[in-house]
């Protein structure tokens, strides 16, 4: 009986070890670049009036998996705001220009919804124009950090997808081109 148990145990161990050696190693495959996963998009927006805003910020990204995409872009933004007194007369107008770099990451918990983070580093310059005859003032150029966080939807269509996002600058620098309120953007990735 003892011999039978030893033989059974030996047979079982041999069977188990042959099964283990027969398994393929689960090694990570090296990253291979797939040009089909590259996408182009960005922001293009305009608003005119007392609060004028023009944004042209192209981006390029890569869809690493169905759950994760990342990329980078450049920013070109012009912003102006007119301030008025109680009678509606113009007092002064702030004019700012911005240029900078951005990177972004998007996490897709499901294929059409994503969370986004986009740090930016923009250089800002500008001037203040007075309407009462006072001399205009040029503002000193400064670097303005921005951290946009948000969520959105990526709706497939054609050869790309429509991107709709709600974003907010969590740093909230006084010279941020995005202001201190959440904002909505719509774009298209090719």
pLDDT score, position 14: 43
| 75 lies in some domain | yes
Per-residue pLDDT of 142-186, as tens digits, reads: 999 999 999 999 998 877 888 999 999 999 999 999 888 998 888
| 1 lies in some domain | no
Q: What is the mean pLDDT of residues 15-22?
A: 41
Tell me which of 21 and 166 has the higher pLDDT.
Answer: 166
| 20 lies in some domain | no
pLDDT score, position 190: 84
Confidence band of 26 (pLDDT split at 50, 70, 90): low
Q: How many domains does the chain have?
A: 1
| 59 lies in some domain | yes
- How many angstroms separate the Cα of 153 from the Cα of each of 67, 124, 179, 182, 189? 13, 30, 23, 16, 12
CATH number, domain at 125?
Answer: 2.40.160
Structural domain of 182: 37-189
Cβ burial of 36 (10 Å; 0-12, 13-18, 19+) is exposed
Which strand (E) or helix (H) includes residue 116?
strand 113-130
d(CA 187, CA 42): 7
pLDDT score, position 1: 45
pLDDT score, position 16: 38
| 9 lies in some domain | no
């Amino acid at each position: 009986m003892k011999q039978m148990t030893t033989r059974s145990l030996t047979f079982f161990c041999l069977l188990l070890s042959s099964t283990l050696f027969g398994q393929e190693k689960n090694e990570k495959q090296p990253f291979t670049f797939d040009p089909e996963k590259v996408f182009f998009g960005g922001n293009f927006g305009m608003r005119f009036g007392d609060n004028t805003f023009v944004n042209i910020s192209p981006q390029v990204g890569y869809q690493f998996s169905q759950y994760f995409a990342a990329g980078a872009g450049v920013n070109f933004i012009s912003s102006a705001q007119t301030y008025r007194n109680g009678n509606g007369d113009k007092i002064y107008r702030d004019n700012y220009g911005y240029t900078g770099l951005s990177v972004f990451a998007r996490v897709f918990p499901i294929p059409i919804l994503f969370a986004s983070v986009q740090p930016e580093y923009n250089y800002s310059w500008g001037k203040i124009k007075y309407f009462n005859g006072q001399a205009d003032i040029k503002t000193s150029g400064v670097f303005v950090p921005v951290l946009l966080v948000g969520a959105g939807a990526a709706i497939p269509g054609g050869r790309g997808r429509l991107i709709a996002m709600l974003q907010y600058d969590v740093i909230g620098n006084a010279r941020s081109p995005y202001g201190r309120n959440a904002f909505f953007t719509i774009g298209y990735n090719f």
